[in-house]
Structures are given as C-alpha cells and as structure tokens.
Amino acid sequence: MKKKSEQKYTAINNIWFLLKEIAVYDKKLFLYVGLASVSGMLLPLATLGLTAIVIEGVSTGQNVEWLIGTFVALLVGVLVLTVLSKTNMMKLQMQGNIFRVIILNRLAVHLMKIDFDVFDGDEGQEKINKAFDTASNPHQAFQHIFLVLEGLTKSILGFLLYSYILVDIHWLFIVLVGVSSVINFLYSLHINTLEDDNKKVVSPVNRKITYLTEQTGHFQRAKDMRLYKMENWFGDIFSQLSQEKYQLTHQVRRRKIGGNILDGGFKLVIDLVAYVLLIQMIISGEISVASFTVYFGAIATLSQWISGILRRIVDLNKAGMEIDDYREFMELKSTRNHGEGVETEVSPSLPYSIEFKNVSYRYPEAETDTIKEFNLTIKPGEKMALVGVNGAGKSTLIKLLTGLYRPTEGEILINGHRMDEYNLDDYYALFSVVFQDYYELPVTIEDMVLQGKEKDDVYLNKVEKESGLKHVYQSLPKGRETKLVKRIFSDAVDLSGGQKQKLQLAKALYKNGPILILDEPTAALDSIAESEIYQQYESLSKNKTSIFISHRLASTRFCDRIVFLEDGKIIEEGTHSELMRLRGKYFDMFETQSYYYKNEVGEKQHAIV
C-alpha cells in the first residue's frame, strides 16, 4: 500500500475518477446502491417496529383480528425490505464483478500496447503487479467500491434517522454512543497500522509457508517426495515456520483481544445506562413497553451506524490508494512510433539488410553496459550465427534488433532505415523469432501455429514437416486438433521440452517474416532431432536474412558467417573454417565441445560392442 506522499492523485480525486468510470459503465448501479442502502437501513427498524407493535397491542388489549392484521402488514413490509436489500446487493456484487473484469481487460489491452521496455524492469514490473493485483482482487477497489458506497450511504442514513429517534430520550446519549464508537474505531486503526507494519516481518515467512504448501501439493514433485522421504523434513520446516509466524503475530493478537475487551466494556456501560434510563421512563409513564423495545434496539444499532461511517471512510481512502496504482499504470505511454512509418513489404522473397551502428545497451538500474559500441552489418539473405558463452549479450542483441528494447546509444538500421522510422507493428511483422523462453496457450496445436493468421493448408503442412512438428502430433488421436495445457483441459496433452521447441519453430516459420531469428532452437532436442534441424536449416532460411544463436557450435558450419561475442563485443568473426584456422576462442570452444561429443559417441559404440 502506498503512503499518501507517494500518491500521484488524492484519494478524493481517485474516488471521483472511479465514480465517473462507473457512470460510463452503467448509471443504474447508483440506483442499486441507493435501494440497497435504504432497504438495508430500514430493515432493522422495521423488525423492531414489528416487535413493538405486537407488544403494544397485547399490553393495551387490542383484539386478535387487529393484532393479526397489523402483524401481517408489518411482516410483509419486512419481507419487501429484505427482498429489496438482498436483490440489490446481489446486483451490486454481480455487476461489480463484471466491472472489475472490464477494468482487468483494459489493463491487459494496455499492457499489450505499450512498449516492451516500458515495463521490462523492476520499476515497470512493480507498477504492473500493483495495478493487476488491484483489478484481480474482488476485495479491492474496483469491485469492493460498490459495497463501500452501499455501506457508507446506509450508515449515514441510519445515523440520521436513529439520532432523530433517540434525541427524544437525551442528546447526551447520542454523544455517549458516538464517543465510544470513535474510540473503538481509533483503536481499530491502531491495530490495522500495527498489522501493516507487522507485514514487513511476517510476509517473508508467509512466502516460505506458501512455497512449501505449493511444493508438497505439486504433482511433478510427488516423485521426489516419495523416493527421498521428504515428508518429515518438509513437516519439520513447516512447523518451524508456523511457530515463527505465531511469535511474530502474538503482539497483534494481544492488541486485538484488548480491543474486544474495550469494545465489550463500552457496550456494557451503554447498555446499563440505557436500561436504567429507559426503565425510569417506563416507571414515570413517559414511554410504553413497546417504545422501550424500539429505543433500546435503536441505541444498539446507532453505534453500528457510526462505526459503519468511520470504517467506510477508511475503506474509501484505501480504495483511493488502490485506484492510484491503476491510473499510474494506465498513464504509462509508449515512446515508439505507432503512427505513419516507412512502407514495408513483408515477403519471404525479399530479404532485408541489418546494420548495428555503435549500439550500446544498459539494463535499467545496471551499472555497466551489456552491449558496448556494437557494430555489425548483415547482408540481405545472409545466414549468420551468433555464438559465445552465457551472458555474452546474444539474447540482448536479438531483443534490441526485434524492437523489444531500444538502444541506450547508437542505432539499428533495417534496409537503411532507422528502427523508429517504421511503424512499430509493421516493424514487428518483419521478424519470425523462436526465443529461448517459450509458452503454450490453452488452444489446439494448429491454433498455436497459426496465431490468428489465415490458414494455408499447403504452407502449414510445409512448415510442420520442416520443423518436425508433424511427427509430434501424428501419433495423437486428434492430430493437430489436440488441445494444449492439461491443467486447463482434461483431454489436452502436455508436450515435452523438445516437442514444445518444434511447435515454436513451426509457429515462427508459419509467420514467414523476411528475417528469421532462431535463439537456441535445438536446446531441448536430442542429437538426432538436432541433426535433422541442421540439415533443413538451408531450406528453413531460404530467401531470408537469418540469425542463428546457439551454444552448440556444430550448428554454425551451416552459416555464411559466425560472430563470436564476449562481454557485449565482437571478439572474432568469420566462417567456420576461418575461425578454426585462427585458433582463438571459437576454436577452443569448438574443440572442447567436440571432445565431449566424441567421448559420448565412443562410449555408446563401446557399449554396443
């Protein structure tokens, strides 16, 4: 939760913003709030009145017909108020949930539209998390606001009406109830502040407990749990953490008990005073027994209205802080070109040239550049390999080239035009990319490949063969219509790492961008499947400018040129033969890998013999 000094807008400004958003969505929601508030406020009074009328009728000797008629009439009134209250509260909850989902959808759409580097960092991720946490949680502003408005309106109306009733007894009585309610409220605020401060020390413990709970219930961990007899070990850790959490929250629990005692004490005093005062009024003939019932019930309810007003004001302030997170995220602006740009002709028969000119890139909050004054020209249709150890900057270069990152210094040219000269969506269309980190959506295999593009059966079959995806789904009963993500669909399949990589390769090939980028496309494949991909690399990259990133240098001999990176700079450059003759770092890495490959082959042959 933000401090007030950190908020961009005041709580009042944010609440006013939210009310306007609600009005745009559906003005009838304010009517539902009003009906729920009035009926909810009158309901306890009507119930008291029902009891009072019966008592009054019996004590004054009214006939049975009158008693029954009056009772039925009041009972119908109570039922009507109950139905109104419940119905409108259900409408508020249902519509509030829909409204929250609409807000969540707005966030998702905005996230997809803003530039990748706007949120690719700790600060950007924090803004995303706060905004989405608010919209995802039904107990926060965008859904909870309707209950807050209903509760505040009901409490204000109840306070005014019940104060009017009780002022006939004595105005000091209202003051007594009000003072006790305020004291209890302030003490509750103190408890909330204490809990909030305590979260800083309890939160890490909760994360550990949550992690343990998730791991013990995770299906993929079940094998290790059993084979290594980890249940006792996990149980001991869980007990230790639970005891630690108990100790950390002990002070808060004691304060809460104190608050309950304080609240009970005030209620006891108020009830005693009310009994004494009202009984004296009965004895003196100022009020009847029926009036005693109404007054005493009103006294008990008045404190609830006052507490309700104070609690809902705090809830409104909290909602204002939560809305601030949403507005801050929605006001993030893209800095890239989303308007007119250089005309592009995305065609597989029209390869593009690429040029890096003095490009440097430093990650947010990093102390040094990952890419340093990088210069490289890739000719149209050239097949180039980027190699180097982990952390050399290969994947960062790809993110810069594809427009996900913007260079800190220097510029990237595609066909002689700077990246910013292109409309960003047109620029993205130039690239078919397979990243190291890939994902699956809960759709069919075919839908995952098409990605919303129009289906071309001939070309789809072609890329499925080239990527090896056809071998993946041919053994499945539903073929390419097989659903993915088993935890979503019971009849879905969970692909292996190698199968997933073939799926991603098929997706990239079907997009058919003129620049093909394969970032470790064979990392999860076995040696036979990897060899097949290498043999097909020539056809995969035909009429395309292609960049191939791999730690396995056996793949680089298929490329026209190899660039060896180290610490964000080009250390060596040339063909496979040229770099092997140079006997530099590429040579050392290749020889090291060849040694292990040869040993592996030799061991297999020896085992066969």
Ranking 30-39, 56-65, 352-361, 402-411 by mean pLDDT, the lowest is 56-65
Q: Cα–Cα distance between 328 and 133 in angstroms, integer? A: 13
Q: How many CB atoms lie within 10 A of CB 348?
A: 15
- Residue 431 and residue 354 in contact, taking contact as beta carbons nearer than 8 Å: no
- Residue 517 and residue 398 in contact, taking contact as beta carbons nearer than 8 Å: yes
Q: Cα–Cα distance between 573 and 475 in angstroms, integer? A: 43
Measuring CA to CA, which residue among 467, 471, 460, 581 is closest to residue 530?
467
> Looking at the predicted structure, is the pLDDT value of residue 346 above 60?
no
Q: Which of 6-10, 455-459, 475-479, 539-543 has the highest mean pLDDT?
A: 455-459
Burial label, 368 (beta-carbon count in 10 A; 0-12, 13-18, 19+): exposed
pLDDT at 74: 79
Q: Mean pLDDT throughout 434-448?
A: 85
Q: For residue range 565-580, what is the model confidence (pLDDT) as tens digits?
A: 998 899 999 998 999 9
pLDDT at 602: 41
Q: Classify the phi-psi angles of 46: left when phi > 0, otherwise alpha if psi is within -120 to 50, otherwise beta.
A: alpha
pLDDT at 409: 94
Q: Mean pLDDT throughout 125-145?
A: 84
Q: Which of 274-283, 463-472, 591-600 has the highest mean pLDDT?
A: 463-472
> Looking at the predicted structure, is the pLDDT value of residue 605 above 50?
no
Q: Mean pLDDT throughout 108-128?
A: 78
pLDDT at 603: 43
pLDDT at 60: 66
Q: For residue range 488-497, what is the model confidence (pLDDT) as tens digits?
A: 888 888 888 7
Higher pLDDT, 66 or 37: 37
> Looking at the predicted structure, is the pLDDT value of residue 606 above 70?
no
- Residue 173 and residue 277 in contact, taking contact as beta carbons nearer than 8 Å: yes
Query: 609: pLDDT confidence band, cut at 50, 70 and 90?
Result: very low
Q: Cα–Cα distance between 5 and 174 in angstroms, integer? A: 36
Higher pLDDT, 395 or 198: 395
Ranking 154-168, 245-259, 522-536 by mean pLDDT, the lowest is 522-536
- Residue 441 and residue 500 in contact, taking contact as beta carbons nearer than 8 Å: no
Q: Which DSSP category does 455 fall into?
A: P
Q: Mean pLDDT throughout 452-468?
A: 89
Higher pLDDT, 88 or 599: 88
Q: Cα–Cα distance between 18 and 154 in angstroms, integer? A: 20
Q: For residue range 496-515, what is the model confidence (pLDDT) as tens digits?
A: 877 888 888 899 889 988 99
Angle at 102 between CA 97 and CA 107, to 5 degrees: 125
pLDDT at 12: 87
Q: Cα–Cα distance between 99 and 138 in angstroms, integer? A: 10
pLDDT at 119: 73
> Looking at the predicted structure, is the pLDDT value of residue 520 above 50?
yes
> Looking at the predicted structure, is the pLDDT value of residue 525 above 70?
no
pLDDT at 436: 76
Query: 601: pLDDT confidence band, cut at 50, 70 and 90?
Result: very low
Q: Mean pLDDT throughout 90-103?
A: 92
Longest CA–CA span in the chain (Å) reads 118
pLDDT at 365: 75
Q: Mean pLDDT throughout 441-459?
A: 90
Higher pLDDT, 103 or 204: 103
Q: Mean pLDDT throughout 356-373?
A: 89
Q: Cα–Cα distance between 239 and 128 in angstroms, integer? A: 34
Q: Cα–Cα distance between 390 and 125 in angstroms, integer? A: 24
pLDDT at 439: 77
Ranking 60-74, 219-233, 591-605 by mean pLDDT, the lowest is 591-605
- Residue 545 and residue 382 in contact, taking contact as beta carbons nearer than 8 Å: yes
pLDDT at 11: 81
Query: Is 276 in a helix, a strand, or coil?
Result: helix
> Looking at the predicted structure, is the pLDDT value of residue 218 above 70?
no
Q: Cα–Cα distance between 439 and 484 in angstroms, integer? A: 11
Q: First-to-last CA distance in the chain?
A: 68
Q: Cα–Cα distance between 511 and 264 in angstroms, integer? A: 69
Burial 158-177 (b: 16+ CB within 10 A, else e): bbebbbebbeebeeebbebb
Q: For residue range 379-438, what is the model confidence (pLDDT) as tens digits?
A: 999 999 898 888 888 889 999 999 988 899 999 999 999 988 998 888 988 999 988 777
Q: Which of 170-184, 217-231, 416-430 has the highest mean pLDDT?
A: 416-430
pLDDT at 607: 38
Q: Mean pLDDT throughout 446-453?
A: 90
pLDDT at 9: 80
Measuring CA to CA, which residue among 399, 313, 415 is closest to residue 354?
415
Q: For residue range 295-344, what is the model confidence (pLDDT) as tens digits?
A: 777 777 877 888 888 888 888 888 888 888 888 888 888 777 777 877 77
- Residue 167 and residue 124 in contact, taking contact as beta carbons nearer than 8 Å: no
Q: Classify the phi-psi angles of 115: left when phi > 0, otherwise alpha if psi is within -120 to 50, otherwise beta.
A: beta
Q: Which DSSP helix (H) or strand (E) runs through 566?
A: strand 561-566
pLDDT > 90: percent of the chain: 24
Question: What's the chain's average pLDDT?
Answer: 81
Query: Is 569 in a helix, a strand, or coil?
Result: strand
Token pair for residue 436?
């190291």
CA torsion 95-101-105-107 (nearest 10°) is 110
- Residue 338 and residue 115 in contact, taking contact as beta carbons nearer than 8 Å: no
